[in-house]
Structure 1
Amino acid sequence: MTTTGDSRGILFPGQLPAFERVDAPEDIRDRVEWFWIPRWELTDGATSTQTVLPFPASHLVVEHGHVNLYGPTTGISVRVLSGHDWAFGMRLRPAGLAALTSEPAEFLDTYLSFAAPGLLSLVTTPMRAGENTAAVRAAADWVRREIAGADDTGRTANAMVDLIAADRSITSVGELAERMRMSVRSVQRLSARYIGLSPLAVIRRYRLQEAAVQLRARESVAMGDLAAQLGYADQSHMCADFRGVLGITPGEYRRVKG
């Protein structure tokens, strides 16, 4: 197991608590992309605001003595941390989510309590002892036992997301359908069943995440050049999309990024 270097979705890295992302073992990668583990220890009365632009995916999270299934989001996610605590999450692949729920859109922008006492006890014990690696191993074993492997349609849904994430040239549902050799309607149904978002929303989320990464890493990149690289028709379209989801313009983000 290795720590992933993918920083997409993390808008303000300097504000993060101790944080680790660990790639899922290959044999369960059809169900779980990676495990993520934040730990924080704040002084009395202190808080830390965490703002992320989540991947277009759902997460199974052990936190505060419960297991919750977080659905996909339509915008940024903001959480305020306090005290001394931890969380343990797994980013679900489309096929993994479909094994847990048939209607992911029902918990769009919210979460549901998920009955998984085995997972709760398996993860909590090593996490309380500060043993991240043991917690990941226990969670991976639970996934092997409790979440069914991907079928053909699930693998197609996984492949669709992989294609969107990897190919910046895909900016429309029509282009995605052509690359998948499917009809637009079939792609829309696949995205609704396995993600809970429209395929266009998935495409735009990955492009906005990439925009944020580039704005952090390349101080001198011109907005017009960045828009072209990410497949936007022009700078104004990228800026409108960025502001519509993040609430600030790309220029404002560049100035306040941490």
Structure 2
Amino acid sequence: MIDARRGVLYPDRMPRFHRLPPMPEAQHLVAWFWIPEWDLGPGETSRQDVVAYPALNLVVEPSGVQLVGATTAATHRDLTGRGWAVGALLRPAAVPALAEKPSELRDSWAGLSAPDLLEPVAAAMDGDDDDRLLRAVAIMSRWLAERAGEPTDAGLQANAMSELLMTDAGIRTSEQAATRLAVSLRTLQRMTHRYVGLPPLAMIRRRRLQEAAQRLRDDPGIDLAALAAELGYADHAHLTGDFRTVLGMAPSGYRQEL
């Protein structure tokens, strides 16, 4: 299973944050739901830094519904006031029902006109009982299942592809992934482009970078050269290069920030 803890660069800065599994009818469509809630005083700001999973997200907020594309660098959002969001980390099988060309959403987002989703989710989240989160998840799970229909063989194969690239530490090249999936390299490249909007190597690198950041959070004193070797980087310099490209800082700088 994909580790739901990865991706948040500074967990201690998070507001109330929940991760919930999808309902059974949407298990092939959603990896998990993520729900932040915040209530900040006047002048307060909570900056949230994320190195996101290489996937699309369906996000419902009081202001509307958005389809957020895969990213190529760390992103942040400054939270103020009071609010909430209900996001679904989409599995590849859900994407064709929402986006014809996910690559066009790379590092971007698009508004989605879905009042039949926005209004019931907002009504659920406006409650003050402990079941409001489960109601919101059930509403989004049902909406996605109805929109996507029965899973296709191609969609399920794409799910297996994403699971492999994001969980198997032994997969370090696109060629290895193609061999494991019993497809050609060209087929793998077409699959990730069609269902994620990124090349397969970018997905592999994102997994390794997320793992590196998580290891630094868990053990700030870890030797960086040993960490680089363990994660399959050629050397410490390649790990540092990935960090700078995506996070905008070296591993040592991230360690100091922690």
Same fold (TM over 0.5): yes
Contact 2:18 2:36 in 1 (8 A): yes
More off after superposition, 248-257 vs 139-148: 139-148
The equivalent of 2:81 in structure 1 is 83
* In 2: Cα distance, 1:179 partner to 1:53 partner: 26
Secondary structure of 1:9's counterpart equals coil
Secondary structure of 1:61's counterpart equals strand
* In 2: Cα distance, 1:153 partner to 1:10 partner: 30
Contact 2:46 2:78 in 1 (8 A): yes
Aligned residues: 254
1:125-169 CA distance string (max 9 Å, x none): 010114212211222222222222321111111101111122112
1:18-56 CA distance string (max 9 Å, x none): 000111133311111111100001111211111100000
Q: How does 1:144-183 map to 2 (within 5 A)?
A: 144-183=145-184
More off after superposition, 209-218 vs 172-181: 172-181
The equivalent of 1:240 in structure 2 is 241
1:183-204 CA distance string (max 9 Å, x none): 1111100000000011111111
The equivalent of 2:192 in structure 1 is 191
* In 2: Cα distance, 1:221 partner to 1:158 partner: 33
The equivalent of 2:48 in structure 1 is 50
Say yes or no: does 1:228 pair with 2:229. yes
* In 2: Cα distance, 1:67 partner to 1:207 partner: 31
The equivalent of 2:19 in structure 1 is 21
Runs of at least 4 residues of structure 1 off by over 3 A?
none
- Could you list the runs of 5+ residues in structure 1 that have no partner in the other structure? none
1:64-116 CA distance string (max 9 Å, x none): 33111101111111111100111111111111012211200111111111121
* In 2: Cα distance, 1:118 partner to 1:230 partner: 44
Residue 59 of structure 2 aligns to which amino acid in structure 1? V
* In 2: Cα distance, 1:60 partner to 1:16 partner: 20
* In 1: Cα distance, 2:214 partner to 2:24 partner: 26
* In 2: Cα distance, 1:94 partner to 1:162 partner: 10
* In 2: Cα distance, 1:115 partner to 1:147 partner: 16
Say yes or no: does 1:109 pair with 2:110. no
Contact 1:49 1:81 in 2 (8 A): yes
Identity %: 42
More off after superposition, 225-234 vs 142-151: 142-151
Shift of residue 5, structure 1, vs aligned partner: 6.8
Secondary structure of 2:156's counterpart equals helix
Contact 2:225 2:235 in 1 (8 A): yes
The equivalent of 2:64 in structure 1 is 66
Contact 1:31 1:96 in 2 (8 A): yes
* In 2: Cα distance, 1:173 partner to 1:154 partner: 19
- Could you list the runs of 5+ residues in structure 2 that have no partner in the other structure? none
Residue 48 of structure 1 aligns to which amino acid in structure 2? S
Q: What root-mean-square deviation, in Å, do the aligned CA atoms of Structure 1 and Structure 2 show?
A: 1.4
Contact 2:22 2:30 in 1 (8 A): yes
Secondary structure of 1:44's counterpart equals coil
Q: In the alignment, which of 95, 105, 108 is matched to residue 97 of structure 1?
A: 95
Change in 2 beyond 3 A, CA 1:31/1:149: farther
